[in-house]
Amino acid sequence: MHYLFLISLGWFLREFEPIRIAANYIYDKTGRKPIVEYIFGALDCWTCLTFWSALAVTLSFKEAVIASFIVFSIETIYDTWSSKR
């Protein structure tokens, strides 16, 4: 149940529109610097965002890796299933 919360938190942070609008506004104001593109690229990746949010919530590297691996597995299974349709 704990990992379900961490995975849903990562998904929520990625898909919640007001957070995306604020992030896009900040991105547009800072310009196209390489470090800014790297940070905001990580905000668009469900696996990366799950890892960092799980690390911030639990302060456990092991749990953050497990949560992000579960998300990676979900994305891989979904991509494989949707490409066969």
Nearest to 50 by CA among 75, 25, 30, 31: 75
Q: Which residue has the tokens 């949010």?
A: 53
The verdict on pTM exceeding 0.85 is no
pLDDT: is 73 or 38 the higher one? Answer: 73
Contact 11, 51 (CB under 8 A): no
Interval 15-61: pLDDT, tens = 898 988 888 888 888 877 888 888 888 888 899 999 999 999 999 99
**Per-domain residue ranges of the chain:** 2-84
In this predicted structure, what is the pLDDT of residue 69?
Answer: 96
d(CA 76, CA 57): 25
pLDDT: is 1 or 61 the higher one? Answer: 61
